[in-house]
Amino acid sequence: MRDLPPFPSLRSFLDWCEATAQLQIVPDPVPVCHQMTAVHRAVLERAGPVLQFDHPVLAGGAKAAVPVVANLFGTPDRVAAGLGITLDRLDDLGAFLAALRSPAPPGGMRDTLSRWPMLKAALATRPKFTSSAPVQQIVSEGADVDLAALPVQTHWPADAGPLITWPVVVTRPHGSDVADIAAYNAGVYRAQVLARDKLIIRWLPHRGGAAHHQSWARQGEKTPVAIVLGADPATLLSAALPLPETVSELAFAGALNGARPRLVAAKSVPLMVSADAEIVLEGWVSPTEMAPEGPFGDHTGYYNPAEPFPVMQVSAITHRRDPIYLSTYTGRPPDEPAIIGQVFNRLALPTIRAQIPELHDLWLPPAACSYRIAVVSINKRYPGQARRVMMALWGMLPQFSYTKMIIAVDPDIDPTNWDDIAWALATRMDPARDVMLLENTPMDYLDFASPRAGLAGKMGIDATTKIDSETSRQWGQVMQTSAGDAAFAEDLVSRLMPGSAP
């Protein structure tokens, strides 16, 4: 499925960005406290290039020896490139991923041979273990561990302190084998720097890392953790994808990359880590010790309050001889997570259609924090179908359980066009009949509008044409220009106004 060569490391992807004029070196000294985020945001809002800050300035005024890379996935094209494809091939990759999730049985030799790319992708998920790795060229342990040497940003004025924002946090459940990569979880959970050798890991209870931590804590044991900084793009995006809990992100990255992932044994914890990453922070998360994490600016556009999360004692830092620190920020969209979400929206469509066949299209408006509102267009055939689709979507994936509003429209409505949506709401929806309200459903606790943390209402709005028993009135006929008249008008207008576009 790849249009681009494999990117086994962050550096190989940066080389591609440079070759395609999508990498900008920033030679000016830029403070990691607030100002680097301001520069990053300004460039992202202009759909600008990847930024490499060669002279980051630490909070105390000293210049860091490690450059910072930001805005890696600041455009949908680069997100697609990180997946190995061009943007116009997202639908193909989405269909491929849906087939991998639920493959149909082969119908003969020819059909079996046609599925060879799927088989190859499955084989690529098997890791390749190595005894030496670039990420372990330099090893610091014990008293030599110093997180302050890394150019970790403080993003917003009211943030509690430095925050690591692109960590791939690797864990495994208690009782699993170190070499059993299928049992691993790799998630992107922010990590607050607490001291030179301590971090706070913010993983929410429903996430895989938190579940693994609980499995160790129940035995009264510390959880081994490795935080990979500057992983290859396939691993980064796999860690951000809403994959089923039974699918290992590290293995899935191999399928995306079309190559077996290279792993090496960590130096101080019983885990395997990405051999070609930039930096790895190794350590142990206490079963009992907690510390207040935050406040920090979040994807909602608000600061979330300080809350207790587990503390990680960093036992080792390993890195390349000349490491790169990868960073981003989260805030009110647009930000990198929102842009990644736009691409993932399209990738998820074939999988969702496999469960909800009448779904025509789906849009998660980035401005609505990427998942708080969904607009779905459906091929409607029977009364009540819009409500059934909305309830199916809420129950399909954990992420959709946090969608507080779903608007259902017909296929003639562009779900990405607010003018179309407003017209459908104004002409096809009656508030008393077509609004469905639910109470006490799961919700992201960062939603301050919720009456209670973690529980909130949901709204479904049926803005589809009403049929059969849904209405007692004859429905109106939509006005449309005929195809012949439209072609005539287009030809005449193009001659009257040359160079104009409809």
Burial class (CB in 10 A: 0-12, 13-18, 19+), 117: middle
* SS3 label, residue 205: coil
Q: What does the alpha-carbon distance between residue 170 and residue 187 come to, in Å, rounded to a whole number?
A: 7
Beta strands in 328-411 (DSSP E): 359-363, 373-378, 405-409
- Active site residue: 159, 197, 298, 462, which one? 298
Burial class (CB in 10 A: 0-12, 13-18, 19+), 373: middle
- Is the Cβ–Cβ distance between 346 and 165 less than 8 Å? no
Closest by CA to 106, choosing from 96, 120, 98, 118, is 118
Q: What does the alpha-carbon distance between residue 428 and residue 473 come to, in Å, rounded to a whole number?
A: 12
- Is the Cβ–Cβ distance between 192 and 293 less than 8 Å? yes
Tokens coding 341: 């979400």
298 is catalytic: yes
- Is the Cβ–Cβ distance between 162 and 140 less than 8 Å? no
- Is the Cβ–Cβ distance between 303 and 290 less than 8 Å? no
The CA–CA distances, whole Å, from 249 to 65, 186, 206, 235 equal 31, 6, 16, 7
- Is the Cβ–Cβ distance between 404 and 373 less than 8 Å? yes
Closest by CA to 26, choosing from 50, 62, 2, 8, is 50
- Is the Cβ–Cβ distance between 153 and 165 less than 8 Å? yes
Catalytically active residues, by annotation:
298
